[in-house]
Structure 1
Amino acid sequence: MRQLIDIPPVWLAGFLCAAWWQASYHPMGLSFGPIWADLLGGLLVGGGLLMVLLSMVQMRRRRTTFMPHQDADHLVTDGIFGISRNPIYLGDGMILAGFILYWDAVPSLVLVPIFVWVVEKRFIEKEEAALRRKFLAQFDRYSQQTRRWL
């Protein structure tokens, strides 16, 4: 049961709820301006969703899992994974930042680096350690060529 709850989309939903709550009940009179914030927020949310979907499609084509608590069958290093070792988590961060901008939740911008830190500690470090053990030199080469985020 814990593996069904302790997954990145649940963490993202929690951070989104916190940002929405702040924007709705404690707006503090801060704003980015409606046009620019809406445009940039929409681009970030759309780009983040596209990045997540492309990553998942690429992983499915390679017949490996995108679930964080399962062992990967293959190391995916091309396509969008040639830009970032963690494009799904990068997409999640973009979605969070986009909604924060769209909702004019200026004080909630602090949630973005906190979300990145939580994802690194809860998921990325463990996943990369497992990939390093399973794929040895192949993962070492990949991690030297491709950055964790961007």
Structure 2
Amino acid sequence: MNDRSAHTHPWKISDVVMFPALAIAILAEYLIPTRIVPLTFWLLIPVGLAGVIAGLKLISASKTALEAQDQPSLPGEPTTQLVTDGPYRFSRNPNYLGAILMAFGMAIAANSLWFLLVATCAMLVLDRWMIRPEERYLHETFSQEYRDYAQRTRRWF
């Protein structure tokens, strides 16, 4: 078992990607307004809000699953057990998936192409900067157990 963690820097969390991305989208939308579809604001709000709520619930459920097995959700602490229940049955990264669902929900609610583009870029950054190193770490730590889990569970959804 590995004594190190996947991410040793306390700032290497999805918030460091998502909050600046959201700020960029807000600024871009303010400077150059866009629309994804020609629908009214009131029709898109419920759909977007549903995405935001689904994302929040997924993040909460993934943190609950980690806590139930006394596993860290923040960087710096080693993972001692592979968590494969709760939302981890369907996604290897439900925390990140929740953040992306929230971002896409905001894009729909705001009817903003900027939000949609920024959410897509944030998803790629999370995948390369956060998820890939975590997967390498889990593979090194749990070997065949992680390989089996990765074969039966999708990265995102």
State TM-score, norm by structure 1: 0.90
1:6 equivalent in structure 2: 12
Would you say 1:65 and 2:55 are equivalent positions? no
Runs of 4+ in 1 over 3 A off after TM superposition: 28-32
Would you say 1:118 and 2:130 are equivalent positions? no
Structure 1, unaligned runs of 5 or more: none
Residues 3-27 of structure 1 show CA distances to partners (whole Å, capped at 9, x for unaligned) of 2333211211111111222223321
State TM-score, norm by structure 2: 0.87
Q: CA deviation at 1:104?
A: 2.3
Query: Larger deviation: 21-30 or 114-123?
Result: 21-30
Query: Aligned partner of 1:127: which letter?
Result: E
The 2-side partners of 1:32 and 1:109 are apart by 16
- Of all paired residues, the percent bearing the same amino acid is 25
Aligned Cα root-mean-square deviation (Å): 1.8
Query: Is the 1:47–1:94 Cα contact (8 Å) retained in structure 2?
Result: yes
Structure with a larger share of its residues in helix = 1
1:88 equivalent in structure 2: 95
Would you say 1:99 and 2:106 are equivalent positions? yes
Q: Give the total of aligned pairs.
A: 149
Structure 2, unaligned runs of 5 or more: 1-7
Query: Aligned partner of 2:66: which letter?
Result: M
